[in-house]
Amino acid sequence: MRDHDLRPSPISATVDFSANGVQHGFLRLPYSRDDSAWGSVMIPLTVVKNGEGPTALLTGGNHGDEYEGPIALFDLARRLKAEDVSGRVIIVPAMNYPAFLAGTRTSPIDRGNMNRSFPGAPDGTVTPKIADYFQRTLLPLADIVLDFHSGGKTLDFLPFCAAHILPDKTQEAKAFDLVKAFGAPWSMKMLEIDAVGMYDTAAEEMGKIFITTELGGGGTATAKSAGIAKAGVANVLKAAGILKGAVEAARTTWLDMPDGNCFSFAEDGGLIEPLFDLGDQVRNGDVMARIYPVARTGAEALEIRAKMDGVLAARHFPGLVKPGDCVGVLAAVVTA
Ligand SMILES: [Zn+2]
């Protein structure tokens, strides 16, 4: 058993996860550094518990430059009352808090990408220490897990809630029921480029009902995308029986990422001209974007061609691309 081989986490919670009521506190992670010899990283969290019932673990800021999750969760944390809840809600609006404060995808302390750091390590640097605490303390408390993402500074997405195709079909069906309840304009059967080290995978391998989102991007939020996040989390808590009231069923279009052909990557750097916008229908072979070499004039542009029919679900956000950047993601519309 891995757990018995590891030392205890250095993180301590200032809240009691088993106590009834509303508690606003911190995960305190000792972090000795030049400007604070015995200092700590203080990750804000809220626990709301009322009697017996399921536990929802709600997280944003897994990547520090994605804002819909933190907006929805800081908002929920200040409003949720114990009497509203049956069971328990654990809210961590900014999981990789150092990255969130810096406005960067990864941590400025150790460059750690939270979503590639699982299962983490109690004796690692700051990011794997946070991952380890989620792996060994918070995830085991949870029945359902909602982890908010958006595109960050370098990608922009159609607003969707998503779950993964899983070997356990009962677990998979429960996750897609929650995706439907979330009620984003789009709902995705999501394929990962590389699932190793992901929080998603850690939760799913523990048998948790895990859903995630991509709700926009570009390193900001909009009124619309923040509204989708706030309505979505309320709907998920209602569907789980933790909040009272009916799920406000919104119309959603289901999308599928059938295989690796959905991803397009740049092989050269340069200036990107998008030829389709998010939500546009693209046909196999269509030129989705051009990349102009910028060292000189007169050079031919590189064409990025679609490898399947689908809806443009994600695109590179900045105007310049580098070799290896993901420039577009297509998804197939699921009918019936
Ligand atoms: Zn993310």
Residue 2 has pLDDT above 80, yes or no: no
Task: Give the residue-averaged pLDDT of 248-270.
Answer: 93
Task: Output the CA 95–ligand 1 centroid distance in Å.
Answer: 11
* Residues above pLDDT 70, as percent of the chain: 99
State in Å: Cα 72 to ligand 1 middle. 15
148 C-alpha to center of ligand 1: Å?
Answer: 7
What's the half-sphere exposure (Cβ side, CA atoms, 13 Å) at 247? 21
CA–CA separation, 94 and 98 (whole Å): 9
For position 263, what pLDDT does the model report? 96
Interval between CA 23 and ligand 1 midpoint (Å)? 27
From ligand 1's centre to the CA of 41, what distance in Å? 21
Q: What are 122-167's pLDDT values in tens digits?
A: 999 999 999 999 999 999 999 999 999 999 999 999 999 999 999 9
Residue 335 has pLDDT above 90, yes or no: no
Query: If you measure from the C-alpha of residue 248 to the centroid of ligand 1, how many angstroms do you get, rounded to a whole number?
Result: 26
- Under the banding of pLDDT at 50, 70 and 90, the label for residue 194 is confident
How many of the other CB atoms lie within 10 Å of CB of 268? Answer: 12
Cα(245) to centroid of ligand 1, in Å? 30
Calculate how far, in angstroms, residue 190's C-alpha sits from the geometric centre of ligand 1.
14
pLDDT given at position 192: 85
CA of 229 to the centre of ligand 1 (A): 14
For residue 195, pLDDT over 90 is answered with no
Ligand 1 centroid–CA 3 distance in Å is 27
Please give the distance, rounded to the nearest whole angstrom, from the Cα atom of residue 150 to the centre of ligand 1.
5
Q: What is the rounded average pLDDT for all residues in the chain?
A: 96
Ligand 1 centroid, distance to 127 Cα (angstroms): 15
The pLDDT of 157-185, averaged and rounded, is 97
Ligand 1 mean position, distance from CA 193 (Å): 13
More confident residue, 206 or 195: 206
Compute, in angstroms, the gap from residue 215 CA to the centroid of ligand 1: 10
Given a cut of 90, whether residue 88 has pLDDT beyond it is yes
How far, in Å, is the centroid of ligand 1 from the Cα of 159?
A: 13
Query: Ligand 1 centre from 106 Cα, in Å?
Result: 10
Q: Ligand 1 centroid to 155 CA: how many Å?
A: 10
Percent of the chain with pLDDT over 90: 94
Q: Which helix (H) or strand (E) holds 252?
A: none
Using the mean position of ligand 1's atoms as its centre, give its distance from the Cα of residue 251 in Å.
25
Which pLDDT band, with edges at 50, 70 and 90, does 5 fall under? confident
Q: What is the pLDDT of residue 3?
A: 57
Going from the C-alpha of 33 to that of each of 27, 36, 44, the distances in angstroms are 18, 5, 20
pLDDT in tens, 291-312: 999 999 999 999 999 999 999 9
Q: Strand runs (DSSP E) across the chain, as ranges?
A: 12-13, 21-30, 40-50, 55-59, 87-92, 144-147, 155-157, 160-164, 186-190, 209-214, 253-256, 263-265, 270-274, 281-282, 287-292, 302-305, 310-316, 320-321, 326-333
What is the C-alpha separation between 252 and 243, in angstroms, rounded? 22
CA of 316 to the centre of ligand 1 (A): 14
